[in-house]
Structure 1
């Protein structure tokens, strides 16, 4: 398992020695209720929940693109609804948000196999995720290169060497990220194919890839949530189409 995938696991094991691992893992960052409510009532998409997964489909027209998304470490899956609803609508992508065991994507890397069963009519499959979830997605992609079209990374580096693969890669970097520094992501760009698209969003922080409140140790944003969402969605639209 790659180093990035072990960041959360290592922290969890240290907590386990004190007897509080499950409590630590389940004490997740919760979805902002207002952002969640807006997403659930957005007419641009159809949202359903099946088998523990959240499925988002653009309502305007059918799409043959599917994105399987891994949440970040100890972040409630619904915290990504607002950003991914906007992305689904603008980029015309079907999305399935996973639900990792104990809120740790490294424990559920193979979950993408189950997530893809929630969508039909898909011709182009992608995996992606935020932070540790993005690293888990990249590891999965490194083992299923022939089944996927590409990877979408939110605020993270890959952690697996896919530089020789044919996979398309979109890596969105938050300029003021205090959790995963842009410089660190840049250092790991050698793990990606030469034509990987790396988009740096000025003024954005790690927690703005979702809607779950301030993230301990994160930077201070100079753009608001709407601007962050628009920038993410536009980068995705350009990548998928």
Structure 2
């Protein structure tokens, strides 16, 4: 039985179909890229309040924002901070300001490709190189940023002193790394997988300090507005950031 010419698509038809498929893929990819690139936050008013403070200095470098309370010296403790997934890195300037206020601490908040730390896992290298005077470094981050900071710490433990997890957990074993580790959690966090976080504590050193803050949800770690799936709280955003920042800053300075 002959198929006949009419049942076979000609080259022009195939070309049109392929072009349409490529266009759809391009639109989807472009939309996804735009979705992540736009990011959440920052709360401009909260950032401006920090910039106008006489107690804190905000310095913008290529690919990072630095928050410190004084000059950077060999005595300064440095923290390289990775932002949460799809969150603009400047959203953490107000929280960092709480960490450094009255303390010899400098926080380098790293800008990530498409606001995803998974696309820039080793950017702590450049952040540390920008401040060669600092001898004591910790890495940390919020949510996805914390998980990626843990991976960086696992690969560079001999060059670091600490790891800070904000509403996050480690999927790499650093239990015998010699690192000091702080894990700060929000009691009202509706985004973090609490069961996964608790199970993952086995990856942390036995001396890890775990702090759970009442009245703090997942979005309370930064200044970028409410987050889908999170729990509502009565605590003001600035108060949540103050609690997170003070708990972290005291640990870093200690």
TM-score range, shorter chain: 0.7 to 0.9
Deviations 1:62-98 (A, max 9, x none): 5521100001111011111111011111443111110
Q: Superposition pairs for residues 15-164 of structure 1, below 5 Å?
A: 18-19=28-29, 20-59=31-70, 63-164=75-176
Judged with a 3 Å threshold, the aligned counterparts in structure 2 of structure 1 residues 80 and 237 are, in CA distance, closer, same or farther, namely closer
Task: Structure 2: state its 5+ residue gaps.
Answer: 1-24
Please report how far the alpha carbon of residue 16 of structure 1 lies from its aligned counterpart in structure 2 after TM superposition: 8.3
**Stretch of structure 1 that moved more, 65-74 or 87-96:** 87-96
CA-based RMSD: 1.9
Q: TM-score, normalised by structure 1?
A: 0.88
Which is higher, the Rg of structure 1 or of structure 2? Answer: 2
Deviations 1:165-196 (A, max 9, x none): 10010000011111104443222111100000
Q: Quick one: distance in 2 between partners of 1:82 and 1:234?
A: 12
CA contact under 8 A between 1:65 and 1:122: conserved in structure 2?
yes
Describe the SS at the equivalent of 1:127: strand
Task: Structure 1: state its 5+ residue gaps.
Answer: 1-14
CA contact under 8 A between 1:175 and 1:182: conserved in structure 2?
no
Quote the residue 2:185 is aligned against: 173
Q: TM-score, normalised by structure 2?
A: 0.84
Q: Quick one: distance in 2 between partners of 1:152 and 1:90?
A: 19
Number of aligned residues: 227
